[in-house]
Structure formats: C-alpha cells, structure tokens
C-alpha cells in the first residue's frame, strides 16, 4: 500500500512540471535558391507539444519546393506528428498531421501547408529556349531580350552565348553586342560572313579583327575566308602588321589598283570594299565614278546603300524598259520613264546610247530624256503614236522611230488609212497617190479611210476592185444612188469604179 502511494505521488510531480516546446521555423528562401526545410519541434515533457514548421515552396522558378511541416515530438513518449507534403513550384504543400499526445501532454499540431511558387511567364521576343529564361543558373545572351539572371547588359555578364535560338555563332563573347547582350552585332568594317565572326576560329582578312583572334598578327590566323581580301585560304597577301587587311587589291577589285587602300579617299563601286572607307554604307563614299566603278555618276550614283562595293541594279518604280537594261554598265538607255545610272548625266539627250522611243536623241524629250518627245506641229496621226517606238508613216512629219531605216511598221492613221502600199517611197511622211482625172467623187474621198465605189476610178483604199469591197456606193458623184447592200445597186460586180449599163 505504501509502495503504490509513492508511485502515484511521483506521477503527480512529473505531471506538474511544464516544459514549453519552441515553434519550428524556416527562413523564406532567397530568389533563385533552394527553399528552406522545416525544423523539428521537440515536445516538452508532459506538456503541450510544439507546432510543426511551415513548409516553403520556391518563390521563383528554379527554386526547389519547400517541405511540409516536420514531425513534432509529443511529450512523454507520444507519437511524432507527420510532416506536410512538399509543395511544388506552383502548388502548395500539404499540411502536416497532428502528433499523438504524450503521457500527460497534448497532441502536437501538424505542419502548415507549404506555399506554392508562382510560374514565370517568358515574354515575347525571347528567342532562346524558354527554360533558359530566368532559370537562376546562368546569364544567357543573344536571345533577343535581357535575361533577368544577368547583372547588367554588358558582355561581361554573359555566362552562355552559343544557345539554341540565339544569334551568337560561338562561345562568349562571340558576336554578342558588347553593350547590349540581348543581341548580336558586327564591327562596321567586317566584310566576311556574319557566321565567321566569333565562331571560335580566328578569321583574318575580314576588314576588322575577329574577336577570336588573340592579336592582329598573321601568326594568330586560323583561316582566311574567301569573302575576305586574302588571295587564298593560305592567307597570302595579309598585311604583316595587321591581319585584318591586305597589302594588294583582291582579285575582285575592279577599279584602278592604286586606288585600293591608298589612304586618301574611300573608293566605291569597285567590286570589293576599300579599307579607306569607314563603313560599308554609301554614306562613307568619297569617289563613286572612278575608272572601273559600276557607277557612272558621282556619289552617291547608284551605289548600294548598304554595300558600297556594289551598285544597285534593281529598276525603280516607273522604269518602262526591260529590267536588264537598267544599270547594265553598257549603254545609257533613255525614254524608259526613269534615269538610267549608266548615263553620265540625267538631263542631256546627247548622252543617250539607246532610246526606247526611237532614234537618239530626236525621239526623247530634250528637257527630260527619260520621256519620249512630244508630237510636233504638222503631225496628223494620234499624238501618242509619235516617238512611241514603232515607225508610223503617212503622218505628215517624220516619226523618230522610223530613223534611220525609213521602214514603215504601221500605216493605220494619216493619209494611208491602213494601206502602206500608198506611202511615198521617197517621203514616208506622205502618200504617193495622184487623183486621176477620171475620179468623179470629191477629192477628199480619194484615198481616205473608206472604199468609195462608182466614182469613175479605182479608190486606192479599196481592198479589191469587186463590188464586195465597197464600203460607200452613194458618195456624191458616184454613178450609184443605192446603198452597197441594196440588191438593186448598179455597181459593176467585177469593176467597182463603174456601174452596169442601164
């Protein structure tokens, strides 16, 4: 009896002792780092058990999910509370289960649910893989937009450049713009292909130093692209003091050899870029019409706006001649609706080598050689037929298109009315017929546009001498008073100049 009384007293003493358990905590994770795990809260002896810690999921993409609340030990041998389920990057973690009560203690509370992390939206304009954007691992460059993982826009911030979908052609720095690592750029004087710059190989003879080259010495060169100034892939001809340039003109240079890299002026249109030019644009040109240049006129001539070693050969709007005639470097074509760069000037018809309107320079407008000359006084055919490129005859004035061969191509208008056979052989501006004395109808009807019958003589405008050719049988003076289609008409069926006997 005394023994059991002592045990009961000991239990009461132990139950009276209160031990407070601390709450488990875990600091919030920093952006781009691993989220903190919940701590274990130890239960007090015979007292209230501690609460489970909060589970955290990573705030930014790339952070690991936070774990749920840890087990909280109950006092006096109670069961531990189960930790909550882990939260994902976009969902919350499950709450921890409550622990069983220890002897004389209360059950521990389960851990609170972990907070889910928000998904990052990749903005439009990002050209690399979406998983590379703000991945918390590396500063990815040349992707169209600044990666949030980059400390700034300089090339020094870049960790990766040669990315799928990116603009760079090799490992950093490659051709990534030094001041804007979201895009790529080339030196203003680089003449080789863009893919050769910053591709991991030192390319020489390209007008500017390749970022892959350790120096400007030819010894640093690993390749000389065919688009550069070197004569061959062995890099012959490179300047011994500057591997970006050559000492002699490349084979594609068409201007005077002495004009290449003479140090005095930027020569353009020469088939190859002149190192004396500050850039490849037409704005840098100082001489455009030198011997061998594709431009016949002074700067800017028809030098290509973006590649001053070549000329623009695309006809402008309004060009009416064949496209191949524009800037063909052979003839100055006039009357084509727009100036031809092959002409030394654009306002002097004497420069014309070929005229679409006819013979040069008579067929072009003396004030504007791009147009055909207007019809002069005395021209009896339609005005648009004059200097149209086709020789019109019988029009009272010589058509420039007939010079120098005087070969009639059309006689539809004027005195011939479609019958070139009546054109005077000695003066194609006139018709050769003479009104015969036997002609009884008005003189104006002879050789006009209508076949007049019954007039006492053959009308040269009739297709034949039969009655079926007649177009007018009642012309004043005609022997017929009835229309040609009248069955009683008296025109002779085999001689439309006369009528049948009464």
Instruction: Give the residue extent of every domain in the chain.
Output: 51-74+84-89+107-119, 436-502
What is the rounded CA–CA span in Å between residue 110 and residue 53?
8
Q: Say what the pTM is.
A: 0.52
Residue 183 has pLDDT above 50, yes or no: yes
Find out whether 329 and 344 touch, Cβ atoms under 8 Å: no
pLDDT digits (tens, 9 = 90+) for 195-240: 999 999 999 999 999 999 999 999 999 999 988 998 677 888 899 9
232 or 78, greater pLDDT = 232
E-strand spans in 53-196? 176-177, 180-184
What is the rounded CA–CA span in Å between residue 123 and residue 459?
86
The first and second tokens of residue 327, run together, are: 């800037």
Residue 19 has pLDDT above 60, yes or no: no
Find out whether 407 and 391 touch, Cβ atoms under 8 Å: yes
What is the rounded CA–CA span in Å between residue 328 and residue 342?
7
Find out whether 203 and 224 touch, Cβ atoms under 8 Å: yes
pLDDT, position 493:
94
Residue of 135, 122, 55 lying closest to 94 (CA atoms): 55
Find out whether 196 and 206 touch, Cβ atoms under 8 Å: yes
pLDDT, position 231:
66
Tell me, rounded to whole angstroms, the distance of Cα 359 from its chain centroid: 40
pLDDT, position 444:
82
pLDDT, position 367:
92
Query: Residue 421: pLDDT band by 50, 70, 90 thresholds?
Result: confident
What is the rounded CA–CA span in Å between residue 233 and residue 413?
68
Tell me, rounded to whole angstroms, the distance of Cα 344 from its chain centroid: 31
Phi and psi torsions of 244, nearest 5°: -90, -15
For residue 91, the tally of other CB atoms under 10 A from its CB is: 16
pLDDT, position 118:
55
What is the rounded CA–CA span in Å between residue 66 and residue 115?
8
Q: Is 182 strand, coil or helix?
A: strand
The first and second tokens of residue 92, run together, are: 């919350």
Phi and psi torsions of 160, nearest 5°: -140, 135
């Amino acid at each position: 009896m005394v023994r059991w009384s002592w045990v009961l007293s000991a239990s009461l003493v132990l139950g009276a002792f209160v031990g407070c358990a601390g709450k488990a905590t875990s600091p919030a994770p920093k952006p781009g780092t691993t989220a903190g795990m919940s701590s274990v809260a130890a239960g007090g002896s015979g007292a209230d058990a501690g609460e489970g810690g909060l589970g955290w999921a990573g705030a930014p993409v790339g952070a690991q999910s936070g774990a749920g609340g840890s087990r909280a030990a109950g006092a006096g041998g109670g069961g531990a509370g189960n930790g909550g389920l882990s939260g994902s990057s976009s969902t919350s973690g499950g709450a921890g289960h409550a622990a069983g009560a220890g002897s004389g203690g209360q059950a521990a509370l389960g851990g609170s649910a972990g907070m889910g992390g928000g998904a990052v939206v990749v903005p439009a304009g990002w050209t690399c893989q979406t998983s590379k954007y703000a991945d918390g691992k590396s500063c990815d460059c040349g992707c169209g937009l600044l990666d949030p993982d980059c400390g700034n826009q300089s090339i020094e911030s870049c960790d990766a450049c040669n990315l799928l979908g990116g603009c760079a052609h090799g490992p950093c720095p490659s051709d990534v713009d030094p001041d804007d690592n979201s895009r790529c750029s080339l030196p203003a004087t680089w003449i080789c292909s863009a893919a050769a710059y910053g591709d991991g190989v030192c390319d020489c003879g390209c007008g500017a130093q390749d970022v892959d080259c350790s120096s400007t010495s030819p010894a640093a060169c690993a390749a000389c692209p065919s688009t550069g100034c070197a004569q061959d892939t062995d890099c012959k001809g490179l300047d011994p003091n500057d591997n970006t340039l050559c000492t002699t003109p490349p084979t594609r240079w068409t201007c005077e050899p002495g004009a290449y890299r003479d140090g005095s002026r930027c020569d353009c249109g020469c088939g190859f870029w002149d190192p004396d030019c500050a850039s490849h644009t037409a704005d840098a040109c100082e001489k455009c019409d030198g011997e061998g240049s594709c431009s016949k006129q002074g700067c800017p001539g028809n030098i290509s706006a973006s590649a001053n070693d070549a000329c623009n050969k695309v006809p402008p709007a309004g060009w009416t001649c064949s496209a191949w005639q524009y800037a063909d470097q052979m003839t100055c074509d006039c009357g084509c609706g727009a100036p031809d760069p092959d002409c030394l000037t654009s306002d002097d018809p004497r420069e014309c080598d070929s005229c679409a309107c006819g013979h040069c320079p008579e067929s072009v407008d003396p004030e504007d050689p791009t147009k055909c000359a207007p019809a002069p006084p005395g021209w009896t055919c339609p005005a648009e037929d004059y200097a149209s490129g086709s020789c019109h005859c019988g029009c009272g004035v010589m058509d420039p298109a007939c010079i120098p061969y005087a070969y009639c191509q059309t006689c539809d208008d004027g005195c011939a009315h479609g019958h070139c056979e009546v054109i005077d052989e000695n003066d194609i501006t006139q018709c050769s017929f003479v009104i015969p004395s036997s002609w009884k109808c008005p003189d104006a009807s002879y050789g006009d546009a209508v076949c007049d019958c019954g007039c006492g003589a053959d009308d040269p405008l009739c297709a034949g001498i039969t009655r079926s050719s007649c177009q007018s049988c009642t012309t004043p003076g005609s022997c017929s008073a009835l229309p040609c289609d009248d069955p009683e008409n008296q025109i002779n069926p085999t001689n439309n100049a006369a009528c049948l006997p009464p």
